[in-house]
Structure 1
Amino acid sequence: MILSVTLLGLLWGVVVARVPTLWRDPRQRAFWAVVVLLALIKTVVLLPHPAILPNLLGVLTAYFLLRFLSLLTGRGTQRWHLALTAAVLAALLVLAALTDDVTLTGDLSALTVAYWIVLEGFLGAVLVTTARMFWAVAPDAPAGLPRLGLRAIATGCALVALYAAIKTGLIVARGTGLAHIDFAEFKRYAMHLQGGGILIAVAGACVPAARRSRDIIGAYWSLLVLRPLWKAMRDAFPEVILFSPRRAVFELAGVDDVQLRLYRRVIEIRDGMLALRPYLPETPPHSPDPADAEAAAIVQALRRRADGLAAAEHPAAFAGVGPEMADEVAWLSRVSRAYRHGPVTAAARTPRPSGSAR
């Protein structure tokens, strides 16, 4: 029960977290469909449902997994995958209509055995293909978490394929009278193999997303930290704004979008500071912390400009920063914090940050 609840929570968490990726590319949409269907299957089995429903959802999951593999490798066609999936679904529906019961609780007729062979054979073949592909490409991935994530996907798919193979063998054995199998008891223990395999595979698939999410969160946090300083420059020099930001949650779909906005914010701050240079005081403020001194100089320059003082012919300069954008972000973040929280800022009644990070 704990494993089922953990898996269900993970699946729906991934579904919600990856909604923004639907606008990125077809691969992300195919992967999202796989996770959604897995989450639906695990939810449906906890509720009253037609016996065939989870099986049909499982076939659709396999189709989108095939689609995902096709988009990753450039092999296979959507038309072929769609035709194969349609044939499997049609076969299952026909077999289910011809037999009274497709569950494994009573005597298994030949049609019931055929139903499960078609279902588990299709699912097992797709899972084996997936496991082989991800295991084969894992050595080419960067060492560490990316490689571990790919191997986790392969291992999880292999475990679920093993579950399908064992279950199929037991169904055939019981259907032919070779052995009496209590499938209720089998499910009690074997579901750990299936659930554990899905858990490992989904966790492995989340590794790249986790790294990407860390970069996105870091960039977005920098946007928030830089906002007080950026707002001061924007209010003083509206012309430094390069273009209006896209106010859409879809910007969180990729780290590139957030990084672009972060770079733009740094450039706009620097353009504002360049325009503010002529108003810097001749004697720069002194502080043990260079970031506090820079923030105090900005406050004084803004005050001098607001008071209408003449611009200096030979303006002073702000502190120099290293050549990398990361150096600029780190330094301006320190200055922005000092600008917002420093006592000189409060005394000067400079604009307080408001609104969103956008």
Structure 2
Amino acid sequence: MILDVALLVLLWGATLIRVPTLWRDQRQRALWAAVCAIALAKTMSFGPVAERVAVPILPHLLGVTSAYFLLRFIALVTHTGVRARQLTLLVSVLGALVVLDVIAGGIDTEAELLAGDQGWSVVAYWVLLEAYLGTVLVTASVLFWRVSGEARSLLPRFGLRVTAAGTGLVACYAAVKGGLILAHNLGAHIAFSTVEPIGRTVQTSGLILTIAGLLVPATRRARAAYAAYRSLLVLRPLWKAMRDAFPEVILFTPRRAVIELAGVDDVHLRLYRRVIEIRDGMLALRPYAAPHGPSPDEEAVAIVEALQRRAATTPLATPGSWAPVGPTMADEVAWLSRVSRGLAGPSRTPTPSGSAR
């Protein structure tokens, strides 16, 4: 039960975390759909939920749907496979499962019921289900392991290999379960009450590894996105001063920025744009800037005084210049952040009041 709850938390967490990737490309949408479908499947098969829903076939249909989206992801990554054929196969498998379920009078998933007498319709149901899932999962394992060798850094390589191991475990579970049900119907004695709990633990562990592996490469992106968003907030006082003085430096409207909040990568674009807007404003303010010292606090004071002179329309005959910074964007962000803190006050940390754009 604890392992099942942990899996559900991980699945739904991954589903929510990956929502911004829906705006990126087809591959990310296919992968998100696969994770979401398996999250729904495991939720429907979770004890308390399964008792209330009482439709044992539903988690299987969702599992097949998840495998289809995983297959679409693989096809988009490898540029192989025809979508129409994959969709036709999905519909065929789903239709066959529904028909076999009706013929069998309902498919039982409890270990005690699996150990009973089963007709060939039940065997065909399980073999078809596990064969489809197992084939897709083996294909996914091979892909993730092969791609991991091409990863340039350790963290993505580790995550992809953990994912490959997880999908491999689930594939093994599917293959073994389908084989045992077939063997039982051929007359072999199978202790499902012993085997099935072990198998479910293997399946759950494999899914946890799969989702955890998929999230590993995202942790670095999440840290970078958090740092970029924090920089947006820190730069806000300086940016707001330039925006209020020179509205024309704003590259896009706030409405456009709200739309861009949906993208993971867009926070870096917004930070880059904010630096450009600040620099454009400071360039326009330069005729009013007096010579000043090289520290961020002194530059902040110079900016305040320059804004006052501009408001009074009193440019300087021999203006000063702003501190040279560079050569990288990180250097710009670091310096302007210190200036912005000086502009906001030495003891005040910027807070997300209004738009962080």
CA distance in 2, matches of 1:353, 1:273: 23
User: For residues 296-329 of structure 1, what are the alpha-carbon distances to aligned partners after superposition, in whole Å with 9 as ceiling and x for unaligned?
Assistant: 11122222333x2621122111211121111111
Structure 1 match to 2:218: 209
Instruction: Provide the residue aligned with 1:138 in structure 2.
Output: 148
Deviations 1:23-69 (A, max 9, x none): 22111111111111111111111212212111111111111111111
Residue of structure 2 aligned with 1:102, choices 103, 107, 111:
107
Give the Cα–Cα distance (whole angstroms) in 2 for the partners of residues 342 and 302 of structure 1: 19
Q: Which runs of 5+ in 2 are unaligned?
A: none
**Structure 2 residue 313 is matched with structure 1 residue 304:** no
Deviations 1:264-299 (A, max 9, x none): 2111111221222222235x3x6xx81111111112
Give unpaired runs (5+ residues) of structure 1. Answer: 346-351
How many residues end up aligned between the 2 structures? 344
1:74 aligns with 2:73: no
- Corresponding residue number in structure 2 for 1:51: 56
**CA-CA distance at 1:163 after TM superposition:** 0.7
Partner of 1:293: 298
In structure 2, what residue type is equivalent to 1:298?
A: I
Deviates more, 1:273-282 or 1:200-209: 273-282
Letter in structure 1 aligned against 2:3: L
Q: Which deviations, in whole Å up to 9, do the C-alpha atoms of 1:58-83 show, x marking residues without a partner?
A: 11111111111111110001111111
**Is the alpha carbon distance of 1:185 and 1:270 closer, same or farther for their aligned partners in structure 2, counting shifts above 3 Å?**
same
Amino acid corresponding to residue 97 of structure 2 in structure 1 = L
> Aligned pair 1:266/2:275, yes or no?
yes
Distance in 2 (alpha carbons) for counterparts of 1:210 and 1:151: 16
1:62-111 CA distances to partner (integer Å, 9 max, x unpaired)?
Answer: 11111111111100011111111122112212211111342250322222
User: 2: CA distance between counterparts of 1:132 and 1:357?
Assistant: 43
> Deviating runs (4+, > 4 A) in structure 1?
none
Counterpart contact for 1:21–1:29, Cα < 8 Å: yes
TM-score after normalising by structure 2: 0.91
1:192/1:252 Cα in 2 relative to 1: closer, same or farther (>3 Å)? same
Verify the 8 A CA contact 1:174 1:181 in the aligned structure 2: no
Shift of 1:162: 0.7
2:322 match: 318
Q: Which residue of the partner structure matches residue 341 of structure 2? A: 337
Please tell me whether the aligned partners of residues 148 and 161 of structure 2 are also in contact (alpha carbons under 8 angstroms).
Answer: yes
- Residue 8 to residue 353, structure 1, CA distance change in 2 (3 Å): closer
The 5-angstrom pairing of residues 208-247 of structure 1 reads 208-245=217-254, 246-247=256-257
Q: CA RMSD in A?
A: 2.0
- Given the two structures, how large is their TM-score scaled by the length of structure 1? 0.90
Amino acid at match of 1:18: R
Residues 1:17 and 2:9 aligned together: no
Whether 1:127 and 2:137 are equivalent positions in the alignment is yes
* Alignment match, 1:348: none
